[in-house]
Copies of this chain bind each other. A is one copy, B any other.
Amino acid sequence: MEEPFLVQTTDYKPLNEGSLAEYLSAIPSVAELLGGSPDDWRVREVGDGNLNLVFVIEGSSGGVIVKQALPYMRLVGESWPLPLERSYFESLALAEQARAAPGSVPRLFATDRVGAAVVMEYLQPHVILRKALLQGRHLPLFAEHMARFLAESLFKTSDLYLTADRKKSLMQKFCANTELCKITEDLVFTDPYRISPGNRWTSPQLDDDAAAFRADAPLKAEVQALKLKFLTSAEALVHGDLHTGSIMVTDEDTRAIDPEFAFFGPMGFDIGALIANLLIAAIAHRVHRQGALGDAYRTWILDQAELVWTGFATKFQSLWETEATGDAFTAELFEDPAGRIALGRMQDRYLADLFADTLGFAGCKMIRRVLGLAHVEDLESIADPDLRAAAERKVLALGRRLILKRSTMTSFNDVLYAVEEIDL
């Protein structure tokens, strides 16, 4: 893998349409990729996210993306400061993910730590997966691609693949990404279950539901057990925010973007994030599109959720068979026939535990999209508040079920039964 160019900016200054051409012309590989004269490069700001400036720069022979962190949360304003260092963590994560799962993330051309900017591949004609799902697009390969991305990026940054010293030196870097982790700790695991100024929900329809969740002590205890796992289980380098808005797709290609929340955490957090957002999309879709076509596409989405899990599990197990170079489960100990059986049984247990984690984290991610600060277009775009609340109530019920029953749901069929019971 080529190493990214290191831009030596001396102090932080937000980039803009006027300054970008000069900025990029100093990066030889990027200047060459764009082609022609910097004066002719076209720049537009396209950031629709919550946290960053995002520019597309196109020259005569190609384009790149420049993503720059702002020192506050764009969605909320300067009252919510955010660390610029998250840009550096994004570039570190992109580099590791590219190493672990080649072709699954945008190519990284340059990193500017002080300037808090990353220059990367302009993905075209990719669209955000969430948008594609809202449009009812059938994407023949995305589930397979994401299963592979999850298996490779998680396995190859875990103790099953890395030696302990290599893993810990990587983990050491990401230990400093605490402020973005804190956002997750609060917004996913805590605020939806208490009165918090950032919370919102479809009101008054869901007022009683929100109050019931705040009073649901057994659920809160389970959510906090999952939060403890988020805080302590350094299993692998997780993306940390892998919802359907962090994935770009075409029919042939799939990329995970925006890993600025990356840290060493529980694998189930990433798998659960994706499955949660697919389940939300499935529930929302029949509201958006009634009748047989809506039903069929909902079934297709549910099939993709299942394929993500089963594809992940198959690929992960196969990596464990063929590339177990790490310090965990020292391969040498299991080379005889009895060892292979015992290891196989342990792999099954590992995947069963990971499935339970996945469902638990998926449940947390579903609930926070209805009761917390950040909502999703799948549900927000249901204009009628009664219809929206009805769908959101199903999302809450399914999320709650996944959290409480995660240890007794042993195959994806159990998830599908729960969906059918709740989303009749």
* Residues A175 and B178 in contact in the complex (CB < 8 Å), given A235-B232, A346-B225: no
CA distance A179 to B169 in the complex (A): 12
User: Is A164 in the interface zone, CB < 8 Å from B?
Assistant: yes
Check B332 against A194 for contact (C-beta < 8 Å). Answer: yes
Check A169 against B159 for contact (C-beta < 8 Å). Answer: no
Shortest CB-to-CB span from A229 to chain B, Å, is: 9
Q: Which of A163-185 contact B (CB under 8 A)?
A: 164-165, 167-169, 171-172, 175-176, 178-179, 181-182, 185
Cβ 8 A contact of A220, one of B190, B234, B328, B342: B342
Q: Cβ of A233: which chain B residues have Cβ within 8 Å of it?
A: 232-234
Q: Which of A215-270 contact B (CB under 8 A)?
A: 215, 217-218, 220-221, 224-225, 227-228, 231-235
Q: Cβ of A23: which chain B residues have Cβ within 8 Å of it?
A: none
Cβ 8 A contact of A182, one of B165, B194, B221: B165
Check B342 against A231 for contact (C-beta < 8 Å). Answer: no
Check A228 against B164 for contact (C-beta < 8 Å). Answer: no
Q: What is the interface size of chain A, counting residues whose CB is below 8 A from a CB of the partner?
A: 48
The stretch from A45-53, A333-341, A364-372 touching chain B is A333-341
Query: What is the chain B residue whose CB lies nearest that of A340?
Result: B217
Cβ 8 A contact of A338, one of B185, B215, B228, B349: B215
Check B164 against A342 for contact (C-beta < 8 Å). Answer: no
Given contacts A169-B176, A218-B342, A227-B328, 5 further A-B pairs with CB under 8 A are A172-B176, A185-B327, A215-B338, A220-B334, A228-B328
